[in-house]
Amino acid sequence: MEHERSADGSPIFDSLDVDLFVKVLAHTLFGPFFVFFVPIFYIFQGAKVTDPLVLSLWYTNGSLFFGPGRLDWGEQIVLITGGSSGVGELLANTLAVRNVNVVVLDINPIVTENYNITYYKCDVSNWEEVEAVSKKVVEEIGDPTVLINNAGVVQGKLIIDLEPQDVKQTFSVNTLAHFWTLKAFLPAMLKNKSGHIISLASVMGYSGAVQMSDYSASKAAAISLHESLRYEIDIRVPDRAWYKFFFPTIQPITVVKRIIAALDDQHSQQISIPFYTNFVPFLPHLPSFMRDFAQWVANANYSMERFTKVSGLRPDEGAFKRD
Three-state DSSP at 167 gives helix
Distance CA 219, CA 223 (A): 6
User: Half-sphere exposure of 223 toward its Cβ, with a 13 Å CA cutoff?
Assistant: 18
CA 136 vs CA 35, 100, 118, 132: distances in Å: 47, 19, 11, 7
Say if CB 19 and CB 248 are below 8 A apart.
yes
Q: How far apart are CA 283 and CA 278, in angstroms?
A: 10
CA count, 13 A, side-chain hemisphere, 60: 21
* Residues 288, 286: Cα–Cα separation, whole Å: 6
Distance CA 78, CA 146 (A): 5
Residue 311: CB atoms within 10 Å: 5
Compute CA 181 distance to the chain's CA centroid, rounded to the nearest angstrom: 14
CB 10 within 8 A of CB 3: no
Residue 206: active-site member: no
Which of these is catalytic: 59, 115, 215, 276? 215
Residues designated as active site: 215
